[in-house]
Amino acid sequence: MRFAFFFFLGLVSTSRLPAQQTSLSGPVEAFTFDAPTRSLRAVIGFPGAASFGPMLLDNVDFASIAFRQNYGIVFEGGKCLFVSGLGSQSVATAVVAGVTKFPDGIVWSGNGSLAVLYSRAGSWFQTIAGFPTAPVAGALIDLSSLGGSFTAIAVDASGQQIVVGVSGASGAVYQAAGGQFTPLISMANPVSMSFSSDAQTLYALDASTLQVTASSLSGHGNQTLALPGIANPIAIQAAQDSQNHPLLYIAGGSDRLLRILDVSSQQVLMDVPLNLQPTRLDPFGASSFVLASRAQSTNPLWVFASSPLPGAYFVPAIQLRQPARMKVAISGRAR
């Protein structure tokens, strides 16, 4: 099979820290925000044999960690915090000034220098640049002037280019720079976008036409990539094989599959059946990405990985100790 797993550029979700400091042992696949426990944890081990590590930070409302880094953004008690040193004995937090709104999500540049906070419901985004030395928040950018509904956002590896997708009668993918918007691709319902590793090509998924448009950002035109056999494409991620040939990963929601497509030949290299319905396709570890987050305490975290075989792997749900009051009640009955 002519592909070797990618180095994803992007985002991973996270959280914030308790008083004790915890040093981790064993290989860390990634740090993640665990919503049911409102905590930040490491996923330790490799897909297929991974587990959640101890709580690194608790009482967190929302968090996101830079891809393959030990720092990120935490929201706690209405404050936006920069957290660093995750997994070490010297975890630190600092307030990021100028962030006044709570985002729906966060995407990161591949090099971890830029984070983009965004809200689809509020139709806005805001950048925080200068990671990891001196994070500085930019102005909040209002997208309501574009009309339609804000559906998607993406940033390139170096944090130099940001694109937004808007659906509706004026649906399109726009390049955003300095509060100005330049239309790049006309598209009814752009639900997911991803830059190539060299930032020369932008891939945009149209959920209305069930097609991906590969747009050359140097002005060499567009290429349409058909997705036969996928009725519900929800997300894409660009990648490359060991010979640097461009690949595209497409998640089919109700289709319960992940497709690996050779962009140059438009050949399907592999359709991997999934034993779950994916809800996202976000970068996670060095060769894995999140298919479904933990929505409830009984849910596992689902990731896609290339090893030991390409497929979906789950990180088991966290087994929490019984509250102290339960132990007292049981003890009382035992007497």
Residue 330: band (very low, low, confident or very high) from pLDDT cuts 50, 70, 90: very low
Q: Vertex 207, ends 203 and 209: CA angle to 5°?
A: 90
Residue 8 pLDDT: 30
At 160, list the tokens: 């130099």
Q: Does residue 324 lie in a domain region?
A: no
How far apart CA 167 and CA 109 sit, in angstroms, is: 24
Rounded to an integer, what distance in angstroms lies between the CA atom of residue 284 and that of residue 89? 23
Lowest average pLDDT, out of 20-29, 32-41, 65-74, 153-162, goes to 20-29
Q: Which contiguous run of DSSP H or E holds residue 325?
A: helix 324-334
C-alpha distance from residue 33 to each of 17, 82, 161, 216, 286 (Å)? 11, 14, 26, 35, 17
* Predicted pLDDT of residue 70: 95
What's the DSSP call for residue 156?
A: -
Taking the C-alpha atoms of residue 71 and residue 224, their distance in angstroms, rounded to an integer, is 37
- Strands 311-315 and 301-305, bridge-based pairing: antiparallel
Give the pLDDT band of residue 25 (cuts 50, 70, 90): low
CA dihedral over 56, 62, 68, 71, signed as positive or negative: negative
Is residue 1 within 8 Å of residue 269, measured between CB atoms? yes
Nearest to 252 by CA among 205, 315, 293: 205
Whichever domain contains 36, its CATH number is 2.120.10.30
pLDDT at 6 over 80: no
Beta bridge partners of 313: 303
- The better pLDDT of the pair 15, 225 is held by 225
> What's the confidence (pLDDT) of residue 13?
33
pLDDT in tens, 233-291: 999 999 988 888 999 999 999 999 999 999 999 999 999 999 999 999 999 998 899 99
pLDDT digits over 74-121, tens only?
999 999 999 999 988 888 999 999 999 999 999 999 999 999 999 999
User: Is residue 335 situated within a structural domain?
Assistant: no
Are residues 246 and 201 in contact, defined by beta-carbon separation less than 8 angstroms?
A: yes
Number of domains in the chain: 1
Examine residue 334 and state whether it is found in any structural domain, yes or no. no
- Between 19 and 295, name the one with better pLDDT: 295
Residue 183 lies in a domain: yes
Tell me how far CA of residue 75 lies from CA of 39, 209, 226, in angstroms.
11, 37, 40
pLDDT tens-digit map of 187-228? 999 999 999 999 999 999 999 999 999 999 987 789 999 999
In a domain, 216, yes or no: yes
Residue 2 lies in a domain: no
- pLDDT attached to residue 22: 53
Three-state DSSP state, 225:
strand
8 A C-beta contact, residue 195 and residue 202: yes
Both tokens assigned to 42: 């490491």
pLDDT confidence of residue 335: 28
Q: Residue 325's pLDDT band (boundaries 50, 70, 90)?
A: very low
Residue 5 lies in a domain: no
Sheet holding 11-13, edge to edge: 11-13, 62-66, 72-76, 79-84, 92-95
More confident residue, 150 or 219: 150
Domain, as residue range, for 179: 11-318
**Strand, coil or helix: 59:** coil
What pLDDT shows up at residue 24? 65
Q: What is the pLDDT of residue 321?
A: 54
Q: Quick check: 135 pLDDT over 90?
A: yes
Each residue's pLDDT tens digit, 64-73? 999 999 999 9
pLDDT score, position 260: 97
pTM of the model: 0.87
Answer whether residue 4 is part of any domain.
no
pLDDT given at position 297:
94
Is the CB of residue 74 less than 8 Å from the CB of residue 31?
no
